[in-house]
C-alpha cells in the first residue's frame, strides 16, 4: 500500500470511528430523577422536569443531529428505589445522564450507580459537599449550591453581627448532618459556639418537642438545618411556642417555595443564602416568566440550576462531537458556564460548579409589591468566597 493510500485509509477509518462515537445509540437521553410527590416535590420535582425540558427545547430538541429524549421518575426520597431506577435507566434504557437528584441520601445512592456505569450525574438539588470531596468522582457535576456556600453566606454573616450562641434543629440524614457540621465549623471559626442540637426525621410534622429543647438552650439563634416542608413546619412550631419572639431563626436552606409558604409576619427579616432569585435582573426575570407560564410558580434555585446544568451538558456534547461521558465531561470542564444562573462561574476539576451566591432577606408583607416579591438582595457573594476549595485528590482534570 502506498503512503498516500495509507493516509487515505487512516482518514476514512478515523472519520468512521468519529461518526460511530458521535451516534452511539442514535440519541441523547436525559433522565430526571426527583421527588415528585414528597417533602421536596415543590423544590425539585415536576418543576425540574419542566426546567430540563425548557433547556432541551431552547437547544433545539436535537444535538449532533440526534434527538434529545427526556424521561423522569419519582425517587420517593428512598435511596434503594432511586438506585434501582438509575440502574435500569443506564443498563436497559440507554440514559446518558441523570439530573434532578434533590436528596443527598438519594443522590449518594444514584451516583454509586452512575460512577460504576460511567454516566454523568447532574446534581441540581442536593446540598452535601461530599459529592466533590469524600465521594468525589469524574462523573459528577454538582450545580446550584452546597452546604459550605450556605454556611459561608448566612451563618458567617450572623455570627459577625454578634449572634454567637447557636442551637440546631437538624434533618436526620446526610444533608442535615453535613449542613450542621459545616455550619458549626463556621460558627466556631468566627468566635461563636454551638450550645446544643437535636435531630428530626425527614418529613416530621410535629416539631414541638424539638422547639422546646431549643427554647431551653439559651441560644441566640436557632438554626434550621433542614429544607422543604420540614423548614416550614419547624418555623410554624417555633412561632406557636413563642420562640421567634426571644431568639433569631436561621433557615440554612430555604427555597422560594418555602418562603412563600411561611407567614411573612414571622419570617420577614430572616436572612438566608440562595444560588438564584428570579427578580435579580432582566435575564432572570425573562427566564422565570417563561418558567412560570409553564409551571405556574416562580422557579426555585434547583429549577434554575436544572436548566443551567442541562444546557451546559448539551453544549458540551455538541462541542465534543460525542455523548461519550469522559469526552463530554472534559469539554464541560474546559468551558466556563455562562447563563442567567451561572454568573462568574467556573466548572472545576472536582465537579463543583462555582458561581456567585446571594445573601437575601425575606421581605415583610408590607414591603412586598406582589406575592412573588419575597426577597431583598443584601449582598452578592463571589463563588471564590462561598465554596470550599478543591481537594487535590479530587481534581480529575489533570
Question: Which pLDDT score is estimated for 22?
Answer: 60
Round to whole Å and give the CA distance between 155 and 166: 10
Do 366 and 219 share a structural domain?
yes
Domain with 94, as residue range(s), is: 23-145+280-355
Do 285 and 219 share a structural domain?
no
- At 167, which CATH number? 3.40.50.2300
Do 185 and 118 share a structural domain?
no
Question: Which pLDDT score is estimated for 24?
Answer: 61
Number of structural domains (the chain) is 2
Q: Which of the pair, 165 or 15, is modelled with greater confidence?
A: 165
CA angle 60, 62, 66 (to 5 degrees): 170
Average pLDDT across the chain, whole number: 93
Question: Which pLDDT score is estimated for 168?
Answer: 98
Q: Is the pLDDT of residue 48 over 90?
A: yes
Stretch 79-86: mean pLDDT, rounded? Answer: 98
Q: How many CB atoms lie within 10 A of CB 201?
A: 10
DSSP summary character for residue 367? G
**139 within domain boundaries:** yes
Question: Which pLDDT score is estimated for 25?
Answer: 73
Beta strand pairing status for 375-381 and 357-362?
Answer: antiparallel
Do 289 and 197 share a structural domain?
no
- pTM beyond 0.85, yes or no: yes
Round to whole Å and give the CA distance between 383 and 203: 31
Do 348 and 238 share a structural domain?
no
Do 240 and 164 share a structural domain?
yes
440550576: which residue's cell?
305
137-to-132, 156, 296, 349, 395 alpha-carbon distances in Å: 7, 29, 36, 10, 9
Stretch 216-233: mean pLDDT, rounded? Answer: 94
**9 within domain boundaries:** no
Do 228 and 262 share a structural domain?
yes
Do 156 and 139 share a structural domain?
no
**396 within domain boundaries:** no
Residues 6+ apart with CB under 8 A from 133: 350, 388, 391, 394
Do 246 and 366 share a structural domain?
yes
- Report pLDDT digits (tens) over 294-353: 999 999 999 999 999 999 999 999 999 999 999 999 999 999 999 999 999 999 999 999
Residues 6+ apart with CB under 8 A from 377: 277, 280, 358, 359, 360
**11 within domain boundaries:** no
Round to whole Å and give the CA distance between 27 and 48: 21
**DSSP string spanning 85-145?**
HHHHHHHHS---EEEE--SHHHHHHHHHHHHHHT-EEEE-S---GGGGTTT--TTEEE-S-
Do 247 and 218 touch, CB atoms closer than 8 A? Answer: no
Closest of 364, 282, 363, 345 to residue 141, by C-alpha = 345
Do 205 and 133 share a structural domain?
no
Do 351 and 257 share a structural domain?
no
Do 268 and 169 share a structural domain?
yes
Do 378 and 145 touch, CB atoms closer than 8 A? Answer: no
For residue 225, the SS3 value is strand
Amino acid at each position: 500500500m502506498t503512503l498516500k493510500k495509507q493516509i487515505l485509509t487512516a482518514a476514512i477509518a478515523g472519520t468512521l470511528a468519529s461518526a460511530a462515537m458521535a451516534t452511539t445509540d442514535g440519541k441523547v437521553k436525559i433522565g430526571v430523577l426527583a421527588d415528585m410527590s414528597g417533602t421536596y416535590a415543590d423544590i425539585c420535582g415536576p418543576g425540574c422536569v419542566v426546567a430540563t425540558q425548557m433547556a432541551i427545547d431552547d437547544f433545539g430538541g436535537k444535538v449532533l443531529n440526534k434527538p434529545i429524549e427526556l424521561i423522569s421518575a419519582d425517587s420517593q426520597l428512598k435511596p434503594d428505589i432511586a438506585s434501582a431506577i438509575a440502574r435500569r435507566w443506564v443498563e436497559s434504557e440507554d440514559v446518558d445522564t441523570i439530573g434532578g437528584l434533590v436528596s443527598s441520601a438519594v443522590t449518594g445512592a444514584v451516583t454509586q450507580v452512575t460512577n460504576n456505569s460511567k454516566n454523568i450525574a447532574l446534581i441540581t438539588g442536593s446540598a452535601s459537599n461530599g459529592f466533590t470531596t469524600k465521594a468525589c468522582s469524574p462523573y459528577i457535576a454538582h450545580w446550584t449550591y452546597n452546604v459550605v456556600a450556605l454556611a459561608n453566606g448566612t451563618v458567617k454573616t450572623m455570627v459577625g453581627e454578634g449572634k454567637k450562641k447557636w442551637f440546631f434543629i437538624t434533618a436526620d440524614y446526610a444533608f442535615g448532618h453535613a449542613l450542621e457540621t459545616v455550619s458549626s465549623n463556621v460558627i466556631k471559626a468566627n468566635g461563636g459556639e454551638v450550645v446544643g442540637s437535636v435531630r428530626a426525621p425527614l418529613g416530621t410534622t410535629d416539631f414541638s418537642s424539638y422547639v422546646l429543647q431549643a427554647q431551653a438552650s439559651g441560644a441566640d439563634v436557632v438554626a434550621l438545618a433542614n429544607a422543604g416542608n420540614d423548614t416550614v413546619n419547624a418555623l410554624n412550631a417555633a412561632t406557636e411556642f413563642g420562640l421567634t419572639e426571644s431568639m433569631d431563626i436561621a433557615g440554612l436552606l430555604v427555597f422560594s417555595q418555602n418562603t412563600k409558604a411561611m407567614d411573612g409576619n414571622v419570617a420577614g427579616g430572616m436572612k438566608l443564602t440562595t444560588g438564584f432569585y428570579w427578580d435579580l435582573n432582566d435575564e432572570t426575570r425573562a427566564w422565570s416568566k417563561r418558567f412560570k407560564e409553564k409551571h405556574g410558580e416562580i422557579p426555585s434555585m434547583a429549577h434554575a440550576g436544572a436548566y443551567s446544568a442541562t444546557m451546559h451538558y448539551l453544549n458540551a456534547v455538541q462541542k465534543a462531537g460525542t455523548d461519550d461521558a469522559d469526552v463530554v465531561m472534559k469539554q464541560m470542564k474546559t468551558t466556563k458556564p455562562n447563563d442567567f444562573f451561572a454568573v462568574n462561574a467556573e466548572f472545576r476539576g472536582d465537579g463543583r460548579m462555582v458561581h456567585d451566591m446571594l445573601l437575601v432577606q425575606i421581605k415583610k408583607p408590607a414591603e412586598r409589591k406582589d406575592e412573588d416579591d419575597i426577597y431583598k438582595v443584601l449582598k452578592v457573594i463571589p463563588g471564590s468566597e462561598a465554596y470550599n476549595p478543591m481537594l487535590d485528590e479530587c481534581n480529575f482534570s489533570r
